Amino acid sequence: MVRTEKKKKSGIRIFVALLLMVVVAALVYKSIITPENHQIPVNEYDDNSSSYSPPISSDHKTMPDPSLELEPEPSVSISPGELNSPNAILINLKDHTVLMQKNSEEKIYPASLTKMMTAIVVIENLPDLKKEITLTNSVFQGLSEADASMAGFQPGEEVRAIDLLYGALLPSGAESCVGLAYYIAGSEKDFVGMMNQKAADLGMHNTHFENSTGLQHENHYTTVKDLSILLSYALQNDTFREIFTSSRHTTPPTNKHPDGITFKSTMFEELNNQSIADVEILGGKTGFTDEAGLCLASLAQVGDQEYILISVGAKGDHYTEQYNITDALAVYNSIEK
């Protein structure tokens, strides 16, 4: 009987010990998998997104970091409906914020705003801009018949590339564009292929060029949004910016012009000393065809910020009020100072 009693007590002790071990193990397991104690790795990314997903605190509240707060973006007081131009876009050049847009992704004809692409492709593909280029007779073929604007160079003239660039952007000379295209690529057609490749590289997905000058062609089109991408990019190039913001330029003597040629910017000529307090229009490129209307790509400084405005399609011509200039002055004046 004594042995039986001892065996019973020993069995009970073993059972109790096993039970305690099970309870302790359960408590440890629960403490590991409880959600509020589960830590998210600091550098974890959302599998469904390429952007970083920051960890969320247990109380789902985050305190703002004052050092990350941005100044509010300036606003404009003019409404798109008040513009003469049916297509327009205004962008802060520093952070590329769109402040105003009007039919910005609608297909339009760019006219001579095309020459901005011509210029940047030349600059990026010709290391020596002081290289002299001979303008052959073939450069001028068809330009007068198309009523293209000209810089004033002549067949057989030997001109530096940099002067042709000024001739393309300031007086909007078509012969300057074609001469550069021939020199860079051997033909205007092949040069246009380079223009279209550059447009694709920049993400100008609704743009196609057929020539280097902007002469009207049904398959030569873009959008003001795409043109804003182009101008934002081109202005990062010091040479382009220098030409784009020049009001005049005089070439050195050439074999056809012993006194050189002086160019004046068509935009500054049409601006005609109009100005607004706290607004400085730094540069621009005009354009016009019957199909494209009055066009303008401009750069201005308002306060301590730079802005670009692309406007296309305003009614009128070279002999009417320049509604593209009127729109630019109105828009820049409406930016909150």
∠ CA 244-245-249, nearest 5°, is 85
| Active-site residue, from 85, 149, 172, 176 | 172
∠ CA 191-243-241, nearest 5°, is 95
| Active-site residue, from 104, 112, 212, 265 | 112
DSSP per residue, 226-260: HHHHHHHHHTTSHHHHHHHT-SEEEPPP-SS-TT-
Select from 284, 293, 291 the least CA-distant residue to 323: 293
| Active-site residue, from 102, 115, 198, 225 | 115
Residue 115 is a catalytic residue:
yes
Residue 315 is a catalytic residue:
no
Q: Which two tokens stand for residue 280?
A: 């400085």
Task: Please state, as a whole number, how many other Cβ atoms lie within 10 Å of the Cβ of residue 213.
Answer: 28
Helix (H, G, I), strand (E, B) or coil at 137: helix
User: Tokens 């057609």 correspond to what residue?
Assistant: 189
DSSP per residue, 2-40: HHHHHHHHHHHHHHHHHHHHHHHHHHHHHHHH-GGGPPP
- DSSP letter for 222, please: B
Residue 112 is a catalytic residue:
yes
Give me the sign of the Cα torsion angle 147, 153, 154, 155.
negative
List residues with catalytic annotation: 112, 115, 172
